[in-house]
Structure 1
Amino acid sequence: MEPIRNHTIEESDLITGCIEGDRRMQEELYKRFSPKMYAVCLRYASNAEEAQDILQDGFIKIFKKLDSFRGDGSFEGWIRRVFVNTSIEYFRRKKYLQPVTEKEENTIEGKYVSALDELAEKDILELITRLSPGYRTVFNMYVVEGYSHKEIGDMLGISEGTSKSQLSRAKALLQELVKNILKTDRNKFYHEQP
């Protein structure tokens, strides 16, 4: 059986084929969406191995739940949501977050001048991977995925205040990383001048 290697297969045919258990269609679905979904997994994972585990779990869920896709919205959007939720579930099992007290929550809320505007998107994504899993997950859910602190709290089983403090700490750490990079670049510039 030769694999299907084109994107001219209609999504509806691809979905139907996968639901019916057609291995070639399942392989095509995997090849079509795995690169983008792996990128989603990497944003939440601590390393490439974790990202691979999440990717595998996500595709298992996709194939099991494919018949629940109703066609409301884009198919890729539905798949992406499954992967975000799978990443969050994986994160919750690892228990990376520590609750904070109300006093800590009130002192953490700070105002940060964003130096992130001076970096390219790929640089920012690379910096995000340097955050601890707890900070990285809350940052991704709030900034990238657009969840509210209440939603994040509900999904991760933490308080809204813990979500806010994790985001605040993530921003502070990112700001420090950016300042260090900019300072290093500035020093290189001045030392390289004739």
Structure 2
Amino acid sequence: MFGVFPFLQIIPLFLQTEKKLIRDCQKGIKKAQYVLVKRYSPMLLSVCRRYARDEAMARDVLQETLIRIFENINRYEPRGSFEAWMRRIAVRRSLQWLDKSAWQHELQPVQMPEAQPEPPEIYSQLEAEEIMALLRTLPDGFRAVFNLYVVEGYTHSQIAALLGISESTSRSQLVRARKLLQEKLLILKKTSRYEVATVRK
């Protein structure tokens, strides 16, 4: 996206405040745009990875997200968090990459028991990569709703409007996503115990 800048020339830019960096990017200063990419790409990529089916898709979505950020940065109003503004763009670009039929198919209302909260110790024993791998095994619709509700903090009403589904569909997919994750977590936990026991033998 950018050429290579002499390292000594961009060191001062890395020390800029966020507000100054945004202003320089709004002026179209390439070096400032380069620094913004370097500073925020890891955070944005982590967002894209939660929705993408694989690493290649996540990186493609990241590129589109960065392009959209620079196209719209003059519209950013500093009343809110800049990171939150960029995260919303990343979420929307991620969703646009997925097959919307995955969540636009209206489910019939069904009585489903609420999934029990996942024991915190299960997550604490997993690496971030393992959790990401588990999320990617979920169907697109389940993964999207789970991320929007659990990670991004959207309400079911907001998710319904964003994905073009009903609130009941959002709730149903969240329950099913949690149930699938619990099952996969328990299998992973049992497998890990078996492997440890085998090694000790």
1:95 paired residue number: 101
Q: Does 1:8 align with 2:15?
A: yes
The RMSD of aligned alpha carbons is 2.2
1:27 paired residue number: 34
Could you list the runs of 5+ residues in structure 1 that have no partner in the other structure?
none
The alpha-carbon deviation at position 74 of structure 1 amounts to 2.6
- Separation in structure 1 between the aligned mates of residue 92 and residue 135 of structure 2, nearest angstrom: 19
Q: Does 1:172 align with 2:179?
A: yes
**One-letter amino acid matched to 1:114:** E
Q: Deviations over 1:148-194 (max 9, x none)?
A: 11111110001111111111111111111111112222323444445
Contact 1:30-1:59 at 8 Å conserved across structures: yes
1:142 paired residue number: 149
Q: TM-score, with normalisation over the residues of structure 1?
A: 0.86
Aligned pairs for 1:1-80 (under 5 A) are 2=5, 4-5=10-11, 6-80=13-87
1:129 paired residue number: 136
Could you list the runs of 5+ residues in structure 2 that have no partner in the other structure?
none
**One-letter amino acid matched to 1:140:** N
1:112 paired residue number: 116
- Separation in structure 1 between the aligned mates of residue 106 and residue 81 of structure 2, nearest angstrom: 36
The alpha-carbon deviation at position 37 of structure 1 amounts to 0.4
Contact 2:115-2:179 at 8 Å conserved across structures: no
Between 1:125-134 and 1:139-148, the stretch displaced more is 125-134
- Separation in structure 1 between the aligned mates of residue 131 and residue 154 of structure 2, nearest angstrom: 19
What's the secondary structure of 1:13's corresponding residue? helix
Distance 1:64 1:193, change over 3 A: closer
Contact 1:115-1:178 at 8 Å conserved across structures: no
- Separation in structure 2 between the aligned mates of residue 111 and residue 30 of structure 1, nearest angstrom: 39
Q: Does 1:188 align with 2:195?
A: yes
Q: TM-score, with normalisation over the residues of structure 2?
A: 0.83
**One-letter amino acid matched to 1:143:** V
